[in-house]
Structure 1
Amino acid sequence: MALSNDVHIPCTGKMRRSLPLLQRLSLFSLVVLFFLHTCCYGDVGTAARYTPPYLPTACYGSDISEFPASNLFAVAGDGIWDNGASCGRQYLVRCISASIRDACSQNRTIQIKIVDYVNGMPSPPSASNTTMILSSTAFGTIANSSTNSPAINIEFQQV
């Protein structure tokens, strides 16, 4: 008598119906994971704005070539300064709310570069004790230009 490695398992109707359920659960799980990864991965903080002069900086001194051509840059507050390690870091930033209604430009996210530290800035920020201070161009891109809000609430993520 020859032995066979083939095993025959009869398929019942219950197993056939459960496969689509498993597929749906797997798909649902992937969608949830994708949503959590893309929507809820940033930190929340506050941002003020500042205007020129922007030089000198704690990160680059008077080297203007370190500033992005887009003028989308920021000053690190104490919470993200990290003893100077934040110099050159890039962040995705979006406005999520402010004390003034409709201050945020909806669905606007910018990428900024850290170029300075709040202690020793060459010009004063519009508000103190914020996570970061955005250049006037960066602030105006994610907040409505007509807003008089000195600070906005932001979501930010290091790139």
Structure 2
Amino acid sequence: MALSDDVHVPCTGKMHRSLPLLQRLALFSLVVLFFLHTCCYGDVGTAARYAPPYLPTTCYGSDTSEFPSSNLFAASGEGIWDNGAACGRQYLVRCISASLRHACALNQTIQIKIVDYIQGLPSPPSARNTTMILSSKAFGAIANLTTNSPAINIEFQQ
């Protein structure tokens, strides 16, 4: 048999051109990557909340100009702190579940900015050892504050 992509199909007598194996694998990979990108949001973690005072912060000291005007900000937990590299990072965050029913605000995704580190918080968080500690406004934007859930499960993406 010749080294060609042309294949003779005996039952119809027609010629048919197939993609080489490498091209088929590349196409399959692109389809899988597209599916994963559109179906999966990002990393999964937990979030707690904290209330004022928010200053001073580990990242910016007492500089309030680094806080987003929306007041949607957070303190980084150990898992994303990255030796301080988390300062200033922005994440899309949404609540996916909690220990209490109806704790999550449905279909709410917010963008937060990391302004502090969990170890240096001036006020205590509602739960410890979480991925991030959200400001009261950020937590309330994605979770029902009246549920008294100390922490929620989140999906987040930088």
Give the TM-score, by structure 2 length: 0.80
- Structure-1 separation of matches of 2:120 and 2:77: 11
Count of aligned pairs = 143
Closer, same or farther: CA 99–10 of 1 in aligned 2, 3 Å: closer
Amino acid at match of 2:146: S
**Is 2:88 the counterpart of 1:110?**
no
User: Which residue in 2 is equivalent to 1:34?
Assistant: 34
Amino acid at match of 1:96: I
Amino acid at match of 2:100: I
- Structure-1 separation of matches of 2:118 and 2:108: 25
Amino acid at match of 1:117: Y
User: Which residue in 1 is equivalent to 2:82?
Assistant: 82
- Structure-2 separation of matches of 1:32 and 1:107: 25
User: Which residue in 2 is equivalent to 1:66?
Assistant: 66
Q: Of the two, which has the highest radius of gyration?
A: 1
Deviation readout 1:44-80 (Å, 9 max, x if unpaired): 1100000000000000000001000001100001111
When the two chains are superposed, the root-mean-square deviation of aligned CA atoms in Å is 2.5
What percentage of aligned pairs have identical amino acids?
A: 80
Gaps of 5+ in 2: 1-6, 19-26
- Structure-1 separation of matches of 2:14 and 2:149: 64
- Structure-1 separation of matches of 2:15 and 2:106: 49
- Structure-2 separation of matches of 1:58 and 1:115: 7
Which deviates more, 75-84 or 143-152?
143-152
SS in structure 1 opposite 2:100?
A: coil
- Structure-1 separation of matches of 2:129 and 2:29: 40
- Structure-1 separation of matches of 2:98 and 2:8: 63
- Listed as ranges, the matches of 1:122-141 within 5 Å are 122-141=122-141
Deviation readout 1:103-142 (Å, 9 max, x if unpaired): 1111111110000001121100000110100000100011
